[in-house]
Amino acid sequence: MRNRLLIGCLLFATFYLLSCDHKPEQKNTRKTIDYIKEIPGINDSIPADVTEKGKVLIAYSDCYTCHKEDQRSVGPAFKDIAKRYPVNKVYIEMLAQKVIIGGSRSWGYPVMAPHPKLSFEDAKMMVSYILSMKM
């Protein structure tokens, strides 16, 4: 009789423990990081013909291999680039140079391949088109 009572108690305890969900409540403690560190500055206007030429140049380039207009892919979205940088001559030239020589660490770990065959003027038009997405 005593063995049956012991076995019954063990079975009851086993089923009780298996049926109860005693997992501690987990909270989402991940912090969201804004990877767009907006740079303050004055925005200039971009002529429509320059943005159109830049749009065509991007369409015939390999840019869309790593970039999308609205969402992050291998590299940042064009609209995120436009959100970060002011639209002015200094940043257009700096980013055009970066397109030509390539770079990394501005948007995390992806590395942008250099485009040495691209002229500086074409690169400026492409960057102008990208920055025009801010407006």
Q: Which residues are documented as binding site?
A: 63, 67, 112
CA 88 to chain centre: 23
DSSP code of residue 134: G
Cβ(77)–Cβ(71) below 8 Å: yes
Residues placed in the known binding site for heme c: 63, 67, 112
* 3 state SS of 112: strand
